[in-house]
Structure 1
Amino acid sequence: MRIVTVGDNCMDVYTSSGKAYPGGNPVNVSVYLSGLGAEAAYVGWVGSDAYGEMMIDAIREKGVDTSRITRAEGRTAVTCVEMDGSDRRLGDYDEGVNAQFSLTAEDVHFIQAHELVHSGIWGHADPYFALFKEKGLLTSFDFSDRLQHELTESLPPYVDYPFFSYTLEDEYIRQRLRKVQGRGAKIAVATLGENGSLAYDGVQFYRCGVEQVNVVDTMGAGDSFIAGFLHARLQGRPVQECMEAGARTAAKTIGYFGAW
């Protein structure tokens, strides 16, 4: 199982403690997939600062292939994080060198050697998804909570597994999943926080709850769900089992500070 994630990364800096943890949706998904036993790689840019070196070292230590990470002149992206009980609130975001991210021909060639490619709404990789599909890759994309973003209209024909973040299982999210799946996706999925998750495959909806655990920090929960879901899906498991796998992976993540 060879999976590559592409796009943004950032250092999550907790304002209360000053501690910094590597993160960003594509980075997190690659790390979680590696932990599940997949052969995972990450393609992205970090800055020439100390955070850039920290990011590469941390990802590599988790078993992720970092050979296509570029160190660009400038700052590594930083997100300020504030804690509200066990929940985290994202504050100021400095995109740093990620603002100029693009793929080289060598990057695209490297990505083609994988079975599935994943990215997210802030990754600047969306322009390449038509090419990824043309090359025969399975594709996954995290739209986060941007359910009305213009990419939810243009990108689904090139995304097999689109993921969204929402809060409730209501008619609004059901309609959004129906629409996105109808534009070409195989399975459209929404994580609903403490209310579990919902998926639609064009035939029926699937519902999955959450595992009851002691919540320390919700950072990375959605990303770990995506990793668990994709790992199970590439093993050929049915939709319900994929959602349950995602819930198990997310439950582990919320038991400690930082995404991983």
Structure 2
Amino acid sequence: MRVVTVGDNCMDVYQTSGEAYPGGNPVNVSVYLKNLGAETAYVGWVGSDQYGDTMIQAIQSKGVDPSRITIKEGKTAVTFVELVDNDRRFGDYDEGVMASFSLTKEDLDFIQTFDSVHAGIWGHTEEYYPIFKEKGMLTFFDFSDQLNHSLVKTLPAFVDYPFFSYTKDDAYIRSFLKEVHALGSKVAVATLGENGSLAYDGEQFFTCGVLETNVVDTMGAGDSFIAGFIFGTHKGCSIQECLKLGSETAAKTIRYFGAW
């Protein structure tokens, strides 16, 4: 099982403590997948600052292939975070060098040696998804909570498994997942925070609750869910089993500070 993740990374800086943790959806997913047993690589840009060095070292230390990380003159992306009752709240986001991210031919050639690819809404990767799809890769994409983003109308045709973040299982999200599936996806998935998760495959809905655990910091919970789901998909698991594996992976992540 070989999965490459592409696009945004950032240092999550906790304002009260000043502690900084490597993160960003594609980075987190690659690390969680590696922990589960997949072979992973991350493709992205970091700045020429200390945070850039920290990011590369951290990714490499987790066993993720960092060979296509490019150092660009400037600042590594930073997200400021605060904890409110152990729930992380995002503040200002400085995109740094990732603001002008693009892939080279060498990057694309490298990516196409993998079985599947994952990216997120802030990663500037959407223009490459038709290429990934054409090359026969299994495609995953995290739209986060941007349910009204313009890409929701255009990208699902090239995304086998789109992920969304919402709050509860209601008529709105069920109708929304049906619409996304109709645009061309295989299975549309929504994480619902403390209310579990929901998936639609064109014929029926699947639901899964969350696992009871000691919550220390919810940072990375959604990303680890996605990693668990991707891993299950590659293992040939049913949609229900993929949701369960996602929930189990997320439960481990929220027991400690930072995404990983």
Secondary structure of 2:110's partner? helix
Structure-2 separation of matches of 1:84 and 1:93: 18
- Unaligned runs of at least 5 residues, structure 1: none
- Unaligned runs of at least 5 residues, structure 2: none
TM-score of the pair, normalised by structure 2: 1.00
Tell me the residue number matched to 1:96: 96
Q: Does 1:32 align with 2:32?
A: yes
Secondary structure of 1:29's partner? helix
Tell me the residue number matched to 2:254: 254
Q: 1:209-255: per-residue Cα shift (whole Å, max 9, x none)?
A: 00000000000000000000000111111000000000000000000
**Structure 1 residue runs of 4+, over 4 Å off?**
none
TM-score of the pair, normalised by structure 1: 1.00
Tell me the residue number matched to 1:136: 136
Q: Does 1:2 align with 2:31?
A: no
Count of matched residue pairs? 260
Letter in 2 for 1:11: M
Secondary structure of 1:8's partner? coil
Q: Does 1:225 align with 2:220?
A: no
Structure-2 separation of matches of 1:72 and 1:117: 23
Tell me the residue number matched to 1:115: 115
Secondary structure of 1:11's partner? strand
Q: Which structure 2 residues correspond to residues 122-161 of structure 1 after superposition, within 5 A?
A: 122-161=122-161
Measure how far apart 1:34 and its partner are: 0.3
Q: 1:73-125: per-residue Cα shift (whole Å, max 9, x none)?
A: 00000000011011010000000000010000000000000000000000000
% of aligned pairs identical? 68
Q: Does 1:211 align with 2:211?
A: yes
Letter in 1 for 2:26: P
Structure-1 separation of matches of 2:11 and 2:195: 28
Q: Does 1:193 align with 2:193?
A: yes
Measure how far apart 1:163 and its partner are: 0.1
Letter in 2 for 1:37: G
Structure-2 separation of matches of 1:175 and 1:123: 27
Structure-2 separation of matches of 1:148 and 1:236: 31
Measure how far apart 1:70 and its partner are: 0.2
Structure-1 separation of matches of 2:176 and 2:146: 11
